[in-house]
Structure 1
Amino acid sequence: MASYVQALAVAEYLNFRHAANALGVAQSSVSARVKALEDDLGVLLFERHARGVRLTEAGRHFFERVAAGVDQLDHAVKTAGMTASGECGRLHIGIHALIPRSFLAELIWRYRENHPGIGVEITEGTARDAVMQLRADRLDVAFVAGTPELPDCHARPIWTEPLMAVLPEKHSLAGQSAISWAEMVGETFLVRYGGTGPQVHDHIVLRLAGRWPTPSILRFDVGRGTLLSMVGQGFGITIVGAATALLPTSGVVFLPVADEPEPVTFSAIWWPSNRSAALRNLLTLASDMGRPSRTY
Structure 2
Amino acid sequence: MIDRQSGMLTSLGSRIPMTSLIQTLAVAEYLNFRHAANALGVAQSSVSARVKTLEEDLGILLFERHARGVRLTEAGRQFIERIAAGIDQLDHAVKTAGMAASGECGRLRIGVHALIPCSFLADLLAGYREDHPGIDIEITEGTARDTVTQLRADRLDVVFVAGSPELPDCHSRRIWAEPLVAALPDRHRLADQLAVTWADLAGETFLVRSGGTGPQAYDHIVLRLAGRWPTSSIQRFDVERSTLLSMVGQGFGITIAGAATTLLPTSGVVFLPFADEPEPVPFSAVWSPYNRSAALHNLLTLASDMGRPGSGGLISPAIRPGHSA
Give me the TM-score of the superposition, normalised by structure 2: 0.90
Query: 4+ residue runs of structure 1 moved beyond 6 angstroms?
Result: none
Distance between the aligned counterparts of 1:173 and 1:56, measured in 2? 90
Root-mean-square deviation over aligned CA pairs? 0.7
Are 1:61 and 2:78 an aligned pair? yes
Alignment counterpart, residue 92 of structure 1, candidates 101, 104, 109 = 109
The Cα shift of 1:209 comes to: 1.1
Distance between the aligned counterparts of 1:269 and 1:49, measured in 2? 68
Higher RCO by CA contacts (8 Å cutoff, separation 6 or greater): 1
Are 1:229 and 2:249 an aligned pair? no
Distance between the aligned counterparts of 2:257 and 2:19, measured in 1? 64
Match of 2:207 in 1: 190
Alignment counterpart, residue 131 of structure 1, candidates 144, 148, 158 = 148
The Cα shift of 1:214 comes to: 2.6
Are 1:172 and 2:192 an aligned pair? no
Distance between the aligned counterparts of 1:200 and 1:41, measured in 2? 72
Distance between the aligned counterparts of 2:184 and 2:69, measured in 1? 88
Deviation sequence 1:228-271 (CA, Å, 0-9, x none): 01111111100000000000000010000110000000000001
- Checking the alignment, whether the CA contact within 8 Å between 1:103 and 1:295 is kept in structure 2 is no
Match of 1:295 in 2: 315
- Unaligned ranges ≥5, structure 1: none
Distance between the aligned counterparts of 2:268 and 2:225, measured in 1? 26
The Cα shift of 1:295 comes to: 2.5
Deviation sequence 1:92-148 (CA, Å, 0-9, x none): 110000101100000000100110000011000000011110011110100000000
Distance between the aligned counterparts of 1:42 and 1:211, measured in 2? 92
Q: Which amino acid aligns with 1:154?
A: H
- Checking the alignment, whether the CA contact within 8 Å between 1:161 and 1:263 is kept in structure 2 is yes
Distance between the aligned counterparts of 1:52 and 1:141, measured in 2? 59
Are 1:238 and 2:258 an aligned pair? no
Alignment of structure 1 residues 233-272 onto 2, 5 Å: 233-272=250-289
- Checking the alignment, whether the CA contact within 8 Å between 1:103 and 1:159 is kept in structure 2 is yes
Match of 1:208 in 2: 225
Q: Which amino acid aligns with 2:40?
A: L
Give me the TM-score of the superposition, normalised by structure 1: 0.99
> How many percent identity over aligned positions?
79
Distance between the aligned counterparts of 2:123 and 2:76, measured in 1? 56
Distance between the aligned counterparts of 2:85 and 2:229, measured in 1? 77
